[in-house]
Chains A and B, each alone.
Chain A
Amino acid sequence: MSPHRPVPTGLAAPAAGMRRWALLGMVVVVLAGLAVLDRGIARTAPAPAAVPLAAEAAPAPSESSSWYCAGGSGGGNGVPGATVYLTNTTRTPVAGTVTVGNESGTAATSRVEVPPGGQVAVVPGQLARGAWLAARVDLDRGGVVATQTMGPASAWAVAPCASTASPTWYFASGSTAPGSRLLLALFNPTTTPAVVDTTFATAGGKMSQPAPFEGVVVAPGQVVVADVGTYVQDEPLVATTVSARSGAVVADEVEARQGVVAGLSLRLGVPAPRPSWSLPGIEDPAAGSSSLAVLNPTSRAEEVQVDVQLETGPAAPFDQVVGPGDVWQLETSSARRIPAAQPFTVHVSTRGAGGGVVVDRVVSSTGSTGGANAGAGSAASAGAGAPGWGSVPAAAAVPGLLVWALPGPVGPGSSPPRLGLSSLGGPVSVRLLALAGRTRVTVATLRLPAHGFTVVLPQVLGRAGGRPLLVVGSGPIAAMLDEVPGSPGVVPLVAVPLAPPAGSP
């Protein structure tokens, strides 16, 4: 009996065929559905690292907070001495320590307690000796803002201390032209030794990395100061990039100009490029010059747009492609689309994929004519009509920053500064609160239109009585002090934002 073999019918039973195709259809449908889900709802991109702000006060209920002030001269070296001001924006006293280190790393520590709503000045030179001193402030809570001033012997400058140590720091402006002295201070506030490289970019895209600036070891607690002009000579615009191979540092630049237009500038670097910067409520001097320096420290070209908002409306934006490592200088004072003696707000944004830029503003006033900026002081002698100079990093336009703190009058200026405020989004209500111990006094209440700005005049700020100010917005804002008429030099200051407490909207 031969084995039975099936008779090939060529067709499966209809039911089986239908079942097969139904099964295949199900597979296709499920796979297609999964593919749609997979593509339609993209995988959550990793949260980009929040670009740190150079100076941001920790929330008041913080467990602790620290400030690092690298730019304090010990009074020698031809540079005025430094003073650290601690401003407590909270209603409770905050205690801490100030540790001062010098170029050899030797440290001295002092206890400090900042009263609620008050301000304490610490002079590093009184705690330690050294040509250059750096201070590390450790506080038991947050809500305290640290700023540092230099002067007022021959000129003075003010800048916030750093609230973070970072492996990278950027400075978009600086000059080693004749009459200018540019110092770079590197302070290592951590417990890990840092090895730092520094590169300089000049206008036209030239970059240099002098050998003495390679592999600089900054020991924990040590401050290292280098004269940039020794190696990068006669450059009217020098942008600096500090990059740590290991560890983290804080970098400040001190620039002193002598001559007809003299002044002193203390600048805290920017730890990372950002895609958006603001200079709210500034005004170009009627006699002098004002410019923006835009550094692209990334490895890709950036298309930079500078939007100018006048009181009468927006001006035509400035566009420029800034190559990698290049620095671009925009003379706003000579731009015809920006009328003289008119306050305006600058918003710098990038449209490339490079990761952002760094922006500084440089102001120089000859003091030869009147106007809003008349009377800008000089380093040599105070008095109206004297020329002055200063520069400041732009304010980081960070959506979500609602509260900015301004320390009280820290300089010898005869009148309070002008405060520029701009809205980074929709219309914002802004309250100016003067800190008076545990109480807060409302100085002014303002209303900013969407993407608008305002300038709070000195007479309004005068109501604060020289007390520290809190600028509280109902939405994201940027705040910045502009020139200080009558003071020695031209002293712009970026207000220091207060980080919102955890869990706040």
Chain B
Amino acid sequence: MDARAPAVVAVLVTRDPGPWFDETLAALAGQDYSELSVLVLVSGGEEDPTERVARHLPHAFVRRLPEDRGFGAAVNEAMAMVEGAAFFLLCHDDCAPDPDAVHRLVEESFRSNAGVVSPKMVRWDDPSVLLHVGLNADKTGAVVGRVRPGEVDHGQHDAARDVFVAPGGCTLVRADLLQAIGGYDAGIRAMGEDLDLSWRAQLAGARVVVAPEARARHLQAVAGGLRPVAPSAGDPAPPTLQQLQRRNELRTVLKCYSGLHLVRVLPQLAVLAAAEVLAALVARDRARANAVLGAWRWNLRRTRELRSLRAAVRRQRVLPDSVVRRQQLRGSARLATYASRLLYQGFDVAHGLVPARQERAVPGEPVVGDGTEPVLTGSVGLAFSEDADFDDLDDLGRRSGRDRFGRRLPRRILASRRSRLLAATVAGLVVLFGSRGLLGGPLPVIGQFAPLQGWASTWHQLFAGWQPAGLGTTAPATPAYGIVGLVGTLALGGMGLAHKVLVLGCIPVGAWGMSRLMRRLAPPRARLAAALAYLLLPLAYDALATGRWDGLVAYAVMPFVLGSLVDAVRAGGRASASAAADRAVPVEGMAVPVEGVAVPVEGAAAAAAEVAGPAADGTGQRRATLRRVALLGLVEAVGVAFAPGVAVAVLLCGLGITAGSFARAGGRRCLRPLAEAVAGTVVAAVLCGPWVVGTALAGSQAVGVFGLPAAASTTPALGGLLRFAVGPIGDSPLSWLLPAAALLPLLVAREARLAWAGRFTAVAMMAWALALVTSRGWAGSFAPSLDVLLAPAAASLAACVGLGVAAFELDLAGFRFGWRQGASLLAAGSLGLGMLPVLAWSFDGRWGLSSTGYEGPLAFMGPSPGGYRVLWLGDPRTLPLGGWADGRGVAYGTSEGGLPTAAEVWAPAGSGPASRLADAVALALRGETAHLGRLLAPAAVRYIVVTSGIAPGSTSSEPAPPALLAALTGQGDLRAVPGVQGFSVFENTEALPERAVRRGPPLGAEATARSRQPAPAGAASSGSGGGWRPVLAGPPGGSVYAGPLPGGTVFASFAPAGRWHLTVDGRTQHEAPAFGWAAQFPRAARGAGRLSVSTSALVPLAASAEVAAWLGLAGWLLAGRRRRRDRGGGRADWPSAALVDAGGAQASAPAAGERGGADTTPAAAPADAGTAPAAASAPVAGMPARRERVPQAARSRGAAQDRQ
């Protein structure tokens, strides 16, 4: 009987080993397993370790491979070299098994009949800390550890059990199994080869078992960044560990599942990947996003290779996927981990911006963050570790809220990042909850929510030299079409989705912008308060309820505009800050008292030096100014594209901040915000160049692009403006409370906060004043949309709320107890109660937006041969399309073939010949015609819709002039169509088709005369004398129509005359204008006709240049941002920005806070571009820690350690 133990060959793969290699060799040499042979494979590298191997293992075999093709490939080479082995022990060169590890692994292999056995992995330098006790994986191949990072080994996992993955480093594999499955996947160089091997082993019917009695120390040199990954052949740079891990996981999934399971899993995997990319982009974790996307790219490029690998797996398969799936985790391990981290450790940890608590315990790593995040350990092991908060943690590692004596610890509201994240999440959920009714189904056709065209049509609209608005115009289109087209393209043509993203996305973007704005000026809690106040102001929801896209866009961009102007003020104050730093004389080496507060000397100096940094460098300052102006211009251009009134709002913001600064200190320096606002507007005008030129050419009508004057009687009173009651949401008396709360900083703030409150108040006052003036008609036809004009006031008010919270936090302690404390409490109460109206409306589910638009009651307006137009009349706010003013409170516009689309939402400034429609209506109003229908017939107006409310069925909040309805009712050729409340419809019984033909003579002289009159009655009508028949099919609003022509006179109701050409069987027909604007083709031949518009090539060229300018500027800004980030620079967040005041920069640090608040932990001050990091890192007492980004290496290591 042969009592010899089965032969085990340890295959040790190494390349340029580090100093740890000797320990590994010694560990192998010290094994108590008699039948162990060692084969050392040197996989490329510079160093020859033979001598080192010989020193520890004189009987070991050393084989040198010509190049490094990875661990798996090297092991596969070894398989061919070895004969007669029962097991392979596959070892990394940084893994040291305990002396009894091999024989315990072999024992377990026999005991469990396992094909793959893994030891318990512990940390190299601290064997009491677990690394892995086997690994789990879910159906998407995401690997997750069974132990938490840093978990202390006290035997809690010491039971042999099946696992899905035997982690690499030291793995015992039955030799026949390894041969049967073909060894490792040679295409996996690192990170993931263990998952692949274990998965395929299980498909082949083998068990994968962890034997905790066997233990091995593992350095994880590659995962820990000690050993770089060599680039693959053809790759210029080595992939990151994260990239390797993601691509290999996906590769394993793609090749190991059967076809049926792959069909099930792959879509889920794609959805998860998309969500992860989105979350990573939100967290600005581009490395992760690139890794996820790169994994798909990498694998999709290797479909042929994958196909052969799948065939190989199919041949090896013994067990079906359903059996193997039982070993996998249910659900998504990655998603579960993300949610857990998000919930328990906060946003930053979840997104890898800050390493998890346990990860920070890695020796030698810098500790970042405030270190106060509670951690759910899942075991009691961590509780026995060295933890400063041990007394505050319960058995599960959660904060108990009591100290060691059982006393309740004082808690500060929203003091921790976690609580703020929770509050922000709740606010987001409220918005989501309130918008639930808008998420499914299309938006109703009211206001400016006309449905978008297809993505290609939208792009075409931008580049085409002709627009269907009115009766047709060659004016350039607004860049909004480009933005919509871009979003639609990114949405893969899902224009409904793009519509909702663009409309509903404005609200969170606005709140996010407010948070970014306040990041410069206030501590995190105040920032959150400002963002919440902005989010819960009625303005955006009123705009939503009334279908005002311009208001939503203005709401979204205004915080960014203010933020840019805040930076302008800071830039103006840097010189003074430098002077203040010079004046900072140490007193007893500690502090410089500044108006009641004190700052540690190094903090004040550092902060002042930080903000003064660029001032010393004129070039840098000029570059920064240029960058700021460009960014402002870009943001403004986005706003102007959708809402031209944003340009007015930007100038107003600049003027307000300048006035606020001037009132504080005076001096030319204060003009900088205004100058930058003007410069930004110029940049925006350049970016929107073609459209601006087209608008300017409209002459006096150009002012109409800012907005059309609504009836003064329907505009809100001053009280309504002050509380943003421009719709149904803000109508509650409680809406007064938010403006009241915004007064707090004026009462209790000091220094920079008071100065900023003054500036924001000036902006708000000016916005309100301008809104009042324009809404009352005192500015004539200059009437920007109220929603746009109030956006600066709303943003300023929210900023004041944030400053009020900051003042409450930092300044109130500097006053004696008195009325200010009472005012603060009142303001806090007002803040809370003031949000109730919006919260209450969230139960509506649609924010008051009507569930029925014009698409319901006007569904009868379907397509018609020859096409037709609809003339819309009513208050500008009620029209579901863009138009032109016909007196105060009355506007008109046309839509093609029924309901309006986005092509008619942004009408050009000049109405062109469409003004004749208004003239005709005016005639009817004056009683000078009883045949309005005939007058409108040449314009192919088949229907007239008179709106008297925001939406069909709504109360007549903006009634049409009563005389208008009476006049239309009395017309002999208009037939009233029964409708519903909110609008009236008249059908023109004399309407011509847009494209018509008749055998009779061409339209006579009266029709071709250029007259102010719309068209002589009876000149063209479909009546008995007309004989017009529709011809030439095509989409409504199109620029090409075609179809058979019977011959005769062809009339095309399109402007401008002369641009439209008719060809019949390829022959151009003679054209003669009709009515001074339309096209007429007398004696057109019989045959296949084609009517098309020809436009100047300048328009598409200009639009292309416009797109190039946008992309160029955006690219330049992004590149600059990347350069600054690579240099380690960044924004100057609070407190440094808050210290700077153009009126005399003074270092005004807040009072030191209590322990436990994230915003009171001493930490590094931020660094601006060009600022020496050493200066920036000086601690400032009482200032919150700035969120530091985790170095890439540390993040990669964390990711690698966490295997997710």
> What residues make up the interface of A, taking CB atoms closer than 8 Å to B?
3-13, 16, 19-20, 22-24, 26-27, 30-31, 34-35, 37-38, 41, 43-50, 52, 56, 58-59, 61-66, 136, 138, 140, 142, 163-167, 189-192, 246-248, 499, 502
Q: Quick one: which of B1168-1189 are within 8 Å of A by CB?
A: 1181-1182
Query: Does residue B146 face the partner (Cβ distance < 8 Å to A)?
Result: no
Indicate which residue in A19, A41, A56 contacts B754 across the interface (CB closer than 8 Å).
Answer: A19
Q: Complex Cα distance A43/B774, Å?
A: 11
Indicate which residue in A5, A24, A61 contacts B746 across the interface (CB closer than 8 Å).
Answer: A24
In the complex where A30-B765, A66-B972 touch, is A4 in contact with B600 (Cβ < 8 A)?
A: yes
Does B966 lie within 8 Å of A49, measured CB to CB? yes
In the complex where A44-B712, A49-B961 touch, is A6 in contact with B930 (Cβ < 8 A)?
A: no
Does A10 lie within 8 Å of B815, measured CB to CB? yes
List the B side residues contacting A46 at CB < 8 Å.
Answer: 711, 713-714, 889, 959, 961
Does B776 lie within 8 Å of A44, measured CB to CB? yes
Does A8 lie within 8 Å of B969, measured CB to CB? no
Q: Render B987-1005 as a binary contact track against A, CB cut-off 8 A, 1 for contact.
A: 0010000000000000000
List the A side residues contacting B972 at CB < 8 Å.
Answer: 66, 136, 138, 189-191
Does B1151 lie within 8 Å of A20, measured CB to CB? no
Q: Quick one: which of B788-835 are within 8 Å of A by CB?
A: 813-816
Query: Does residue B481 face the partner (Cβ distance < 8 Å to A)?
Result: no
In the complex where A23-B746, A64-B929 touch, is A140 in contact with B1017 (Cβ < 8 A)?
A: yes
In the complex where A10-B816, A20-B746, A24-B746 touch, is A34 in contact with B966 (Cβ < 8 A)?
A: no
Q: Complex Cα distance A228/B598, Å?
A: 95
* A47, A63, A66 interface centre (most CB from chain B within 10 Å): A63
Q: Complex Cα distance A8/B593, Å?
A: 12
Query: Does residue B783 face the partner (Cβ distance < 8 Å to A)?
Result: no
Does A56 lie within 8 Å of B927, measured CB to CB? yes
List the B side residues contacting A38 at CB < 8 Å.
Answer: 717-718, 772, 776
Does B718 lie within 8 Å of A34, measured CB to CB? yes
Does A65 lie within 8 Å of B930, measured CB to CB? yes
Q: Complex Cα distance A12/B751, Å?
A: 10
Does B930 lie within 8 Å of A138, measured CB to CB? yes
Does B1017 lie within 8 Å of A12, measured CB to CB? no
Does B930 lie within 8 Å of A66, measured CB to CB? yes
Indicate which residue in A41, A58, A140 contacts B776 across the interface (CB closer than 8 Å).
Answer: A41
Q: Complex Cα distance A63/B925, Å?
A: 12
CB distance from B601 to the nearest CB of A (A): 11
List the A side residues contacting B722 at CB < 8 Å.
Answer: 31
List the B side residues contacting A190 at CB < 8 Å.
Answer: 969-972, 974-976
Q: Looking across the interface, which residue of chain B has its beta carbon closest to that of A37? A: B772
CB distance from B664 to the nearest CB of A (A): 7
List the B side residues contacting A37 at CB < 8 Å.
Answer: 718, 772
Q: Quick one: which of B9-28 are within 8 Å of A by CB?
A: none
- A sample of 24 inter-chain contacts (CB < 8 A) reads A3-B1181, A6-B596, A8-B814, A12-B750, A16-B595, A19-B758, A20-B747, A26-B663, A26-B761, A34-B718, A46-B713, A46-B714, A46-B889, A50-B963, A58-B927, A62-B923, A62-B927, A63-B1017, A64-B931, A136-B972, A164-B927, A189-B972, A190-B970, A192-B975
List the B side residues contacting A191 at CB < 8 Å.
Answer: 972-975, 989
The 7 closest A-B pairs by CB, nearest first: A49-B962, A66-B930, A62-B928, A3-B1152, A10-B816, A38-B718, A44-B712
List the A side residues contacting B1075 at CB < 8 Å.
Answer: none
In the complex where A19-B664, A49-B961 touch, is A63 in contact with B928 (Cβ < 8 A)?
A: yes
List the A side residues contacting B758 at CB < 8 Å.
Answer: 19, 23
Q: Render B744-764 as a binary contact track against A, CB cut-off 8 A, 1 for contact.
A: 001100110010011001000
Query: Does residue B493 face the partner (Cβ distance < 8 Å to A)?
Result: no
Q: Complex Cα distance A31/B975, Å?
A: 50
Q: Looking across the interface, which residue of chain B has its beta carbon closest to that of A65? A: B930
Q: Quick one: which of B586-621 are within 8 Å of A by CB?
A: 590-591, 593, 595-598, 600
Does B928 lie within 8 Å of A166, measured CB to CB? no
Query: Does residue B1086 face the partner (Cβ distance < 8 Å to A)?
Result: no
Does A7 lie within 8 Å of B596, measured CB to CB? yes
CB distance from B636 to the nearest CB of A (A): 26
Does A20 lie within 8 Å of B712, measured CB to CB? no
Does B754 lie within 8 Å of A23, measured CB to CB? yes
CB distance from B952 to the nearest CB of A (A): 17
CB distance from B295 to the nearest CB of A (A): 48
Q: Complex Cα distance A85/B388, Å?
A: 107
Does A43 lie within 8 Å of B591, measured CB to CB? no
Does B769 lie within 8 Å of A5, measured CB to CB? no
Query: Does residue B862 face the partner (Cβ distance < 8 Å to A)?
Result: no
Q: Looking across the interface, which residue of chain A has its beta carbon closest to that of B1015? A: A63
Q: Complex Cα distance A3/B599, Å?
A: 10
List the B side residues contacting A9 at CB < 8 Å.
Answer: 596, 814
Does B1181 lie within 8 Å of A246, measured CB to CB? no
CB distance from A272 to the nearest CB of B (A): 10
Does A27 lie within 8 Å of B761, measured CB to CB? yes
CB distance from A23 to the nearest CB of B (A): 5
Does A248 lie within 8 Å of B1017, measured CB to CB? no
Does B772 lie within 8 Å of A34, measured CB to CB? yes
Does A138 lie within 8 Å of B931, measured CB to CB? yes
Query: Does residue B402 face the partner (Cβ distance < 8 Å to A)?
Result: no
* A20, A41, A61, A138 interface centre (most CB from chain B within 10 Å): A20
Does A45 lie within 8 Å of B928, measured CB to CB? no
Q: Looking across the interface, which residue of chain B has its beta carbon closest to that of A47? A: B961
Indicate which residue in A19, A20, A45 contacts B713 across the interface (CB closer than 8 Å).
Answer: A45
In the complex where A44-B712, A191-B972 touch, is A63 in contact with B1016 (Cβ < 8 A)?
A: yes
Does B1013 lie within 8 Å of A63, measured CB to CB? yes
Q: Render B171-203 as a binary contact track against A, CB cut-off 8 A, 1 for contact.
A: 000000000000000000000000000000000
CB distance from A345 to the nearest CB of B (A): 28
Query: Does residue B978 face the partner (Cβ distance < 8 Å to A)?
Result: yes
Q: Quick one: which of B682-738 are within 8 Å of A by CB?
A: 711-715, 717-718, 722
List the B side residues contacting A48 at CB < 8 Å.
Answer: 962
Q: Complex Cα distance A59/B496, Å?
A: 51
Q: Looking across the interface, which residue of chain A has its beta carbon closest to that of B769? A: A34
Q: Complex Cα distance A22/B714, Å?
A: 35
Does B596 lie within 8 Å of A12, measured CB to CB? yes
Query: Does residue B935 face the partner (Cβ distance < 8 Å to A)?
Result: yes
List the A side residues contacting B769 at CB < 8 Å.
Answer: 30, 34
Q: Looking across the interface, which residue of chain A has its beta carbon closest to that of B713? A: A46
Does B814 lie within 8 Å of A167, measured CB to CB? no
Q: A43-B776, A164-B966 are in contact. List 14 more A-B contacts (CB 8 A).
A: A10-B815, A11-B816, A12-B595, A13-B595, A16-B754, A23-B746, A26-B765, A38-B718, A49-B963, A59-B928, A62-B923, A189-B972, A191-B972, A192-B976
Q: Complex Cα distance A48/B769, Å?
A: 28
Query: Does residue B454 face the partner (Cβ distance < 8 Å to A)?
Result: no
Does A247 lie within 8 Å of B976, measured CB to CB? yes
Q: Looking across the interface, which residue of chain B has its beta carbon closest to that of A13? A: B595
List the A side residues contacting B888 at CB < 8 Å.
Answer: 44
Does A43 lie within 8 Å of B712, measured CB to CB? yes
List the B side residues contacting A499 at CB < 8 Å.
Answer: 926-927
Query: Does residue B777 face the partner (Cβ distance < 8 Å to A)?
Result: yes
List the B side residues contacting A23 at CB < 8 Å.
Answer: 663, 746, 754, 757-758, 761
In the complex where A9-B814, A23-B754, A46-B713 touch, is A4 in contact with B590 (Cβ < 8 A)?
A: yes
Does B929 lie within 8 Å of A165, measured CB to CB? no
Q: Complex Cα distance A142/B924, Å?
A: 13
Q: Looking across the interface, which residue of chain A has its beta carbon closest to that of B889? A: A46
CB distance from B662 to the nearest CB of A (A): 12
In the complex where A12-B596, A49-B963, A64-B929 touch, is A5 in contact with B1151 (Cβ < 8 A)?
A: yes
Query: Does residue B768 face the partner (Cβ distance < 8 Å to A)?
Result: yes
Q: Complex Cα distance A61/B929, Å?
A: 10
List the A side residues contacting B928 at CB < 8 Å.
Answer: 58-59, 61-65, 142, 502
Does B598 lie within 8 Å of A4, measured CB to CB? yes
Does B966 lie within 8 Å of A12, measured CB to CB? no
Does A63 lie within 8 Å of B935, measured CB to CB? yes
CB distance from A136 to the nearest CB of B (A): 8
Q: Looking across the interface, which residue of chain B has its beta carbon closest to that of A250? A: B970
CB distance from B474 to the nearest CB of A (A): 29
